[in-house]
Amino acid sequence: MGASPGFAQAQPPAPGYVMPDTETWELKGADGYPYQIFVSKPAGPAPEGGYPVLYVLDGNAMFAGFAETRRMHEYMKADPGKTIVVGVGYKTDKAYDIRRLYDLTGGPTPPPWDVELGKAPTGGWDKFLDFLTGPLRSELDRRYTIHRGRQSLFGHSLGGLFAIHSLFTRPDAFHTVIAASPSLFWHDRLMQKEEREFAARLQSGKIDKVGRLMVVWGEREETILERWDAEAFVRRMEPLSAYGLRTRHEAYDDEVHITVPSRAVTSTLRFAFTWP
């Protein structure tokens, strides 16, 4: 018997979109927490020394944009397409997971955000950095042909805060660090202390190897502190070029806090691929 007029027959759901040239797998941290890892890998043979690697924090939200842009560069035979993009995310379909508050911070949530975020755990950034540079890097080395020296890190907001923390405390962990709209105000005093110690060590020659730093922000950041902090931070970092730290910055017209990463994708891939 046919369907009644005006009533469409139920259709099976359409298949979900699968992004080409990508794969995803789970990897547990030292505490047993399962991270979801997203990988966009070039189809061609690895360049001499192995593929450069770009780690993208908040992978659930950020990975797709970086992966598709990398794939377009590969199609055009442009250098950034030869990079492996690694999104570090969580086992959720949401763009963000509350676990990021633990992974990307070094202490308690400051007011007024402490009320909004409740009692979510914080302060795990050193353990997370251990995970990135230890188990995750080793697993990538096992699965792919990677360049152990050409390792770059991208983080936005709290991820940008974390990226700068990694530069200050373990300057040899990544060849390139890209901090987008870094939430430096989140740990204002702690970051000032880390910055002073990093500058002193760099100027005294106690840091053997230091990479490159790119800081980007939007001209219409909702929290004016984020824009002012980023601008002032870059001005303080630039004199350290005399001691080996190469710094670059970009300010994006008409971009607000949440739209900065989309604008930064191509610049990040190009900056990360540059070697040495």
- Integer Cα distance of 157 and 109 in angstroms: 14
Q: Is the pLDDT score of 52 beyond 90?
A: yes
- Side by side, the strands of the sheet bearing 84-90 are 22-28, 34-40, 84-90, 51-57, 146-156, 176-180, 212-218, 246-252
- Integer Cα distance of 209 and 167 in angstroms: 11
Find the distance separating the first CA and the last CA of the chain, reported in whole Å: 71
Which letter does DSSP use for residue 135 in this model? I
Structural domain spans, the chain: 22-273
pLDDT of residue 6: 57
What percentage of the chain exceeds 90 in pLDDT? 81
- Integer Cα distance of 273 and 275 in angstroms: 6
- The pLDDT tens digits for 150-209 are 999 999 999 999 999 999 999 999 999 999 999 998 998 899 999 999 999 999 999 988
pLDDT band of 115, cuts 50, 70, 90: confident
- Integer Cα distance of 104 and 139 in angstroms: 21
pLDDT of residue 179: 98
Answer whether 249's CB lies under 8 Å from 214's CB.
yes
Class of CATH domain 22-273: alpha beta
- The pLDDT tens digits for 58-96 are 999 999 999 999 999 999 999 999 999 999 999 999 999
